[in-house]
Amino acid sequence: MHRYIDILSKSDLFTGICTENIGKILEYFDAKVCHFEEGEYIFKSNHELNRIAVFIDGGARIINTDFLGNYTVLSELEKGGIFGEVHSLLPYDTPTVSVVALRPTTVIFIDVECVLTPIPEISDCQSQLRSNLMRIMAKKLLSHMRKLEHISRRSTRQKLLSYFTEQMNMHQSPAFDIPFTRQQLADYLAVDRSAMSSELSRMQNDGLIRYNLNHFELLAENECTT
């Protein structure tokens, strides 16, 4: 367990907490290390969740699956990312999403009691932990709101322009790389991949964008920001 402490110290969950106290938190709250292979479920929907998952290495995808087996990609988790912080605090609200490993992945599960049960010896650390959790949840809420803004647009072109405009603003440049493959981008925007690829080609022919693989450049800033 202790060999993971340096990695945990770089996680947003443990910002401002020294490595010695991270070790105490892991010990007090019986943290568990679990390893998952590519394609293996780290968490399945509609199961009770009472632990916070911190990703030590690898990566995973958060998906929502309907009864026909069709799934939508909600987001991805990388090294240092966390999952379950909201649902573990609401024990009667089981998650409707699943988490699937994208490659061999190591996760540390920490009992949610680490923020709910006062321990005098580490009270300052717990206070910092709660503050970190609030910031993490606020950032995720903002991310979800941005995605909702994109997918609420009526056409595929409008969804793409909304997403590209966000990326342009984030990078402060009309040229940027996106973190998605074509399929992942289609899943993120809740559109058909083939239809999206065709629309990208039309947008390039119309002089709106230029792209190669996951590198994009907006060529008509005024139209993209309307």
Phi and psi (nearest 5°) for 182? -60, -45
Q: Among residues 131, 110, 89, which one has the least CA distance to residue 24?
A: 110
Same domain membership, residue 143 and residue 159:
no
Cα(118)–Cα(126) distance, integer angstroms: 8
| pLDDT at site 152 | 93
Proportion of the chain above pLDDT 90, given as a percent: 41
Q: Among residues 185, 189, 187, 201, which one has the least CA distance to residue 156?
A: 189
- Distinct helix (H) and strand (E) counts, the chain: 8, 11
At 126-159, the pLDDT tens digits run 888 889 988 988 988 888 898 899 999 999 999 9
Q: Which domain holds residue 88?
A: 2-149
User: Burial, 220: exposed, middle or buried (Cβ in 10 Å; 0-12, 13-18, 19+)?
Assistant: middle
Same domain membership, residue 191 and residue 131:
no
Provide the Cα torsion 205, 207, 211, 215; round to 10°.
-160
User: How many structural domains compose the chain?
Assistant: 2
Q: Among residues 96, 180, 131, which one has the least CA distance to residue 15?
A: 131
Q: In the listed set 112, 130, 149, which residue is the last one of a domain according to the structure? A: 149
Same domain membership, residue 42 and residue 121:
yes
Same domain membership, residue 142 and residue 82:
yes
Q: Taking the model in full, what pTM does it have?
A: 0.71
Q: Among residues 191, 181, 122, which one has the least CA distance to residue 150?
A: 191
| pLDDT at site 1 | 65
Same domain membership, residue 99 and residue 25:
yes
Q: In the listed set 149, 164, 199, which residue is the last one of a domain according to the structure? A: 149
At 18-71, the pLDDT tens digits run 888 888 888 888 889 999 999 999 998 888 778 889 999 999 988 888 777 777
Going by their DSSP bridges, the two strands 59-65 and 71-78 should be labelled as antiparallel
